[in-house]
Amino acid sequence: MNFEKAIEAIRHGKMILLYDAEDREGETDLVIPALSVTPSDVARMRRDGGGLICVSIYGKAADKLGLPFFSDILKSVSLNGHKSLRTLIEKKGDIPYDARSSFSLWVNHRDTFTGITDNDRALTINRIGETVDKVMKGKNIDFGEEFRSPGHVALLRAASGLLEERRGQTELSIVLALVAGISPSMVVCEMLDDRTGKALSKEDAKRYSMNHNMPFVEGKDIQGFRFQ
Give the burial class of 74: count Cβ atoms within 10 A of its Cβ; 0-12 exposed, 13-18 middle, 19 or more buried.
middle
Between the alpha carbon of residue 218 and those of residues 38, 201, 213, the distances in Å are 25, 13, 16
208 is catalytic: no
Catalytic residue, candidates 27, 41, 58, 108: 108
12 is catalytic: no
User: What residues contact 178, with CB distance under 8 A and at least 6 apart?
Assistant: 58, 184, 225, 227
Catalytic residue, candidates 2, 63, 152, 204: 152
Catalytic residue, candidates 171, 190, 218, 221: 190
Catalytic residue, candidates 97, 111, 165, 193: 97
State the DSSP code for 201. Answer: P
Catalytic residue, candidates 20, 54, 58, 218: 54
171 is catalytic: no
Catalytic residue, candidates 20, 25, 29, 218: 29
29 is catalytic: yes
190 is catalytic: yes
211 is catalytic: no
173 vs 10: CA distance, rounded Å: 10
Give the burial class of 54: count Cβ atoms within 10 A of its Cβ; 0-12 exposed, 13-18 middle, 19 or more buried.
buried
Residues with active-site annotation: 29, 54, 97, 108, 152, 190
